Structure 1
Amino acid sequence: MATESPEEAAGRARAVLADLDGLLPEVDALYQDLHANPELSGAEVRTAGMVASCYAAAGLDVTAGVGGLGVVGVLANGPGPVVGIRADFDALPIAEDTGLAYASTAVGTRADGTTVPVMHACGHDLHTASLVGAARLLAAHRDRWRGTLVLIAQPAEETMQGAKAMLGDGLFDRFPRPDVVLAQHCAVTRTGMVHHKAGIAYSACRNFRITIHGRGAHGAAPHWSVDPVLLAAQTIVLLQGIVAREVDPDEMTVLTVGSVHAGTRPNIIPPEAVLEVTLRATSEPVIDQLQAAMERIVNGVAATGRAPRPPEIELREHTIAVDNDAAVTARVRAVHAELFGADEVIDLPEANKGSEDFAYLGADIPATMWFYGSTAPELWDAASGELRERMARMPGQHTPFYAPDRLPTLRRGVETLVGAALAYLPGRPA
C-alpha cells in the first residue's frame, strides 16, 4: 500500500508541521475549552458541535450525527489511498482535583437520572484537539499529499458503544472505506515518548452489573433476613480466586469489582446488593473462561446463602481486543522514528490492560493504535525503575489528578497524527 520510504514520508511531514508553531495556540485553546466543558458518554452534544465547526473551518466535508453524536470529516485530495483517523471525545464521571485554571466543574446526568461530576480524566480532549490540529495542517498543505482523509470523531468510547454505533450507522458504507485506520492514545509516560505494539495492544473487556437478591429486615434482626450485603461480600472475595487459581498464569487477565451498592441505613438490611465487575483478557476464549467462572461463583454463593431467587447477571458493555496489524504498525513506527529519533520511539513489551472500542474499527481493515506520553519530564525523570514501575508512580488516568503536560503533549499528538497519515498518503508527482 505504501511505496515511499519512511525517510521521504517523514520529510513531507516536517514540511507540513512547519506551521505547527503558529497553529498550536488555537489547538491549545480548543483543548482547554474541551477540558473545562467535558460531557459524559452519549451526551457529548456541545463537543460534537465544536468538532463539526472545526472540521468545516478546515474545509472538510462534514457529516454530524453518525451513530448518535459521531462526526465524520472527509477531505478528498485526488486519487490515492483512503486513510481513516479516529479520535474519541467523551469524558468520565469523576470530580477533577488537579487545581488547573481550566479544571472542570461540569456536572452530567446519567441514564438513571442521577447527576455526577464530569472530567476528562482519560485524555480524550487531547485526542480530539490533536485530530483537529492535524486536520488543519493537512488541509492547508494539500500539495504535500494525495488521496482521501476520513477523520472520525467518536463519542461513547468509555462505555464501549460509540464505535459500534457509528459502524452500525454505515460509517464505512456512507463514507469512503479506508485502506488503513489509525488512532492514538495518550499515556502517562514522559512527554515526547511514542510507544508502538504490534499484535494485541489493548485487552478485550466485558463489564457486568450483578444484582444479588436477598430478603430485607431490621438491622437488629438479621436472622429474619437473607442478607445480600453478606452474600455480596462473600462473592467479591471468591471472585478474586478466579485469576489466582483458575487461569493459566501466562495469560493476562484482570477481574475487578469496581462498584458496590447496597442499603440506605446501618440499621436496615436491604433487599438487594449490586456489584459492577470488569473482566479483561487478551483473547476471547480466556475472557469466556473468566465469565463462566464468575457466573458459577455468583450463582453458587446466592444458592448457598438461601437467596430467594437467582442473581441477575447483565452484560452492560464489551469490546474485543485491539489487534494492531504488524505491517501497519511497522510502517507508522518507522516514520515516527524518522521524525522524533529512534530513542523516543519504544516498542511496548506487552498489551495494555485497558480496553478500547477502536478494536471494532480495525476488525476488518488494517489498523494500528499507538501511545504517546503526557507526563512532564521533570516528574517522569524524578521517578525510578523500569517503564511500568515509573508509570505506576505518575498521576494516572481515570483518577481526579490526571493533568497532562499540556503544550508539549498537544504538539506531539499533532505530530504523530500527521506523520502517520503521510506514511500512507503519498506525495504528489514532481
Structure 2
Amino acid sequence: MKARGLLFPLLILTHQALQAKTLEQDYPYLETLYKDLHQSPELSLQEKATAQRMAQELKSLGFEVTANVGGFGVVGIFKNGPGPTVLIRTDTDGLPIKEDTGQAYASKKSMKDREGNLQPVMHACGHDIHMTVFSGTARQLIDQKSNWHGTLVMIAQPAEETGMGARAMLNAGLFKKFPRPDYNLALHVSAELQAGDVGFTSGYALANVDSVDIKIRGEGGHGAYPHMTKDPIVLAAQLIQSLQTIVSREIAPIEPAVVTVGSIHGGSKHNIIADDVNLQLTLRSYSPEVRDQTIAAIKRMARGLATAAGLPEEKFPIVTIQDEFTPSVFNHPDLTQRMTAVAKKIVGESHVKEVRPTMGGEDFGQYGRVEPKIPSLIYWLGSVDPETHKKTLAAGKKLPSLHSAQFIPLPEPTIKTGVKMMTAAALDLLNGPESAQRK
C-alpha cells in the first residue's frame, strides 16, 4: 500500500514535468505567433486574416474546421471518443487605438472602419494573448490526446468589442450545427494582475453593457431671445443632472449600477439656440431587473423634463437603446470553485487571486445563457511585468489599463501560464466524473 501511495504522486509529478517540457519546447513558436498577431490586428467584423490564421492553427492539429460562422467566426471540432464536450473560446478583434508602447513589435497597422474612416489598430485588450493561449492549449491537448476522452469545441469569435460576435455565432447555429458543450471556458488578460497569476470571480463577474442614444429636441432661435425658444441645451443639462439620481436614489444601494454620459453634441454658434442636442450614454449593471429599471427611469425622466418645458409630445426626446447590448457574465459558482482548485495545483496557491467583479463588459456571457443554461467560466490571466507592477504601485501611479495605448502584456510568463492553466482546466473537465459515466 505504501509503495502504491508513493507511486501515484510520482506519476503526477513526472507527467507535469513532461508537460512543462513540452510547453517549454513549444514556447518559441507561440511567442512568434503572439508577435505576429500583435502586429496584425483587425477591427471588429473585419477579422478576415485573423480568422484564417486561427483556422489554419486548428486545421494543422487535425480539427474539423468550419469558417465564417456568424461573420468571421471559426469553429474547430476534435472528437476523441465518448466523454464531456468542452468549449474553449478566444476573441479575435482589435481596437481603433494608435499603439504607444515602444515595443519593437508594436502595431503600425491602419485600416478603414465600417464607416470608411482610416483608423490605427491595436490589440489593446489582449486578444492577441488570448489567441496565442488558445492555440497553445489546442497544441497541448492534441499532444496529450491519449490522456483524455470527449469532444473539444474551440471557437475563435469575432466582434467581442462591439458585443456582437457571440450573439452572431449563436444565431448562426453554434449550438445546433456543432456539438453542444457541457462547459464553456474562456480567459481574459488582466492589466492589474502580475504575469504568472490567475484570478477568479464567482457569480457575476462582468456587467450588462448598454449603449443609449438620446436626441433631445427643442425649438431653436436667436440666442438674444431665449424666451422665444425651447432650449434643448438647457434640457440636456437638466437631464444629465437628473440621470445622476437614478443610481443614487432609485437603485437599491446594494445593487451595482452605472449611468455615464460619454458624449454631448449640440449647437453650431455662440448666438444660436439649437433645435436639438444628442447624448450618448453607457449603462452598466449585473441583474436584468436593474438593467430594466435603469432604462425605464431614463425614458421617464426624458419625457418628464420635456413635459415640464412645455414641449408637445411630437418633440419629446427620442431614446434609442442600441443593438450592442452585452449581457452580464455569470461564472458558475461550482465550476469556479473547481477551476480555482485546479489553478492552485498548476500555478501555486500564492499565484491564485480572488478578483472582485468589474463593470467592464464581455459577450462571453451569451454562451452560458442558452437554455438549458451551460456552466461557464471566464477567468483572469495576469499580464503585468512584476517589476513594473511593483515600481508603479510603490510610486503611487496607475498601471496602463485595458484599452490604453500603453497597455502591453509581458509575453513570458503570461503565455506559458495561460496555456498551462487552460490545458489543465480542459483536462480536468474532460477527465472528470462525467467522463467516467460516459465510457
Q: Structure 1 length as normaliser, TM-score?
A: 0.89
The question of whether the paired residues in 2 share the 8 Å contact of 1:88 and 1:157 is answered with yes
2:42 alignment counterpart: 39
What is the total number of aligned residue pairs between the two structures?
420
2:135 alignment counterpart: 132
2:352 alignment counterpart: 345
Q: Cα offset for 1:58?
A: 2.2
Which residue type is aligned with residue 375 of structure 1?
V
For 2:127 and 2:80, how far apart are their aligned partners in 1?
Answer: 28
From 336, 352, 370, the equivalent of 2:379 is 370
2:315 counterpart of 1:278: no
The question of whether the paired residues in 1 share the 8 Å contact of 2:346 and 2:424 is answered with yes
For 1:82 and 1:338, how far apart are their aligned partners in 2?
Answer: 23
Cα deviation 1:42-69 (Å, max 9, x = unaligned) = 1211211111111112221110111111
The question of whether the paired residues in 2 share the 8 Å contact of 1:9 and 1:422 is answered with no
For 2:12 and 2:321, how far apart are their aligned partners in 1?
Answer: 44
For 2:96 and 2:281, how far apart are their aligned partners in 1?
Answer: 17
For 1:220 and 1:185, how far apart are their aligned partners in 2?
Answer: 55
Give the unaligned 5+ runs of structure 1: none
1:252 alignment counterpart: 256
2:207 counterpart of 1:203: yes
1:311 alignment counterpart: 317
SS at match of 1:50: helix
1:85 alignment counterpart: 88
C-alpha spacing 1:240/1:334, structure 2 compared with 1 (3 Å): same
Cα deviation 1:396-418 (Å, max 9, x = unaligned) = 01222211122222222212211
Q: Cα offset for 1:343?
A: 0.9
- Let me know the Cα RMSD of the aligned residues: 2.8
2:19 counterpart of 1:16: yes
Q: Cα offset for 1:361?
A: 0.6
1:116 alignment counterpart: 119
Give the unaligned 5+ runs of structure 2: 1-7
C-alpha spacing 1:167/1:14, structure 2 compared with 1 (3 Å): farther
Larger Rg computed on CA atoms: 2
Q: Cα offset for 1:393?
A: 2.1
2:428 counterpart of 1:423: yes
2:421 counterpart of 1:412: no
For 2:270 and 2:13, how far apart are their aligned partners in 1?
Answer: 64
C-alpha spacing 1:118/1:298, structure 2 compared with 1 (3 Å): farther
1:60 alignment counterpart: 63
For 2:79 and 2:67, how far apart are their aligned partners in 1?
Answer: 18
Q: Cα offset for 1:6?
A: 12
C-alpha spacing 1:314/1:343, structure 2 compared with 1 (3 Å): same
C-alpha spacing 1:105/1:299, structure 2 compared with 1 (3 Å): farther
Q: Cα offset for 1:337?
A: 0.6
For 1:411 and 1:383, how far apart are their aligned partners in 2?
Answer: 24
Q: Cα offset for 1:205?
A: 2.0
1:146 alignment counterpart: 149
The question of whether the paired residues in 1 share the 8 Å contact of 2:347 and 2:417 is answered with no
Q: Cα offset for 1:365?
A: 0.9
Which residue type is aligned with residue 319 of structure 2?
I
Greater relative contact order: 1 or 2 (C-alpha under 8 angstroms, separation 6 or more)? 1
SS at match of 2:41: coil
The question of whether the paired residues in 2 share the 8 Å contact of 1:75 and 1:149 is answered with yes
SS at match of 1:18: helix
Give the share of equivalent positions with the same residue, in percent: 42
Q: Structure 2 length as normaliser, TM-score?
A: 0.87
From 60, 69, 74, the equivalent of 1:71 is 74
Q: Cα offset for 1:25?
A: 2.2
1:165 alignment counterpart: 168
Stretch of structure 1 that moved more, 398-407 or 192-201: 398-407
C-alpha spacing 1:92/1:231, structure 2 compared with 1 (3 Å): farther
